[in-house]
């Protein structure tokens, strides 16, 4: 999954977001806030938020076949805890939780 373009997408988005956020905090603490940093802090999210969500969702979607095939992070019955957990369906629920 790490070779998917969606991973690069959300990593770039997260990086730009954090650089913008901490630049804003730093300049604000120094009492010298350039207009561009302030503008970027409050406007970049219009593009970065949907791009980040798309990158995350596409990455989860790309991982689904591997998760289903391997059963990674899943707990099947019977076991000593008498509990079942399927990570595949959990990821699907997580993907749908992005909607609201």
- What tens digit of pLDDT does each residue of 28-84 get? 999 999 999 999 999 999 999 999 999 999 999 999 999 999 999 999 999 888 999
Distance of alpha carbon 4 from alpha carbon 78, whole angstroms: 35
Position 75 scores a pLDDT of 93
pTM for the model stands at 0.85
Residues assigned a catalytic role: 49, 56
- The answer to whether the beta carbons of residues 70 and 88 sit under 8 Å apart is no
- pLDDT attached to residue 39: 97
Q: Is the per-residue pLDDT at 100 higher than 90?
A: no
**59 CB neighbour count, 10 Å cutoff:** 19
């Amino acid at each position: 999954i790490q070779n998917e373009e969606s991973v690069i997408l959300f990593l770039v988005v997260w990086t730009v977001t954090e650089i913008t956020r901490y630049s804003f905090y730093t300049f604000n603490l120094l009492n010298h806030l350039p207009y561009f940093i302030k503008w970027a802090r409050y406007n970049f999210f219009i593009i970065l938020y949907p791009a980040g969500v798309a990158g995350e969702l596409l990455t989860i979607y790309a991982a689904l076949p591997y998760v289903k095939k391997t059963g990674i992070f899943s707990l099947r019955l019977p076991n000593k805890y008498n509990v079942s957990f399927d990570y595949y369906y959990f990821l699907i629920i997580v993907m749908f939780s992005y909607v609201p």
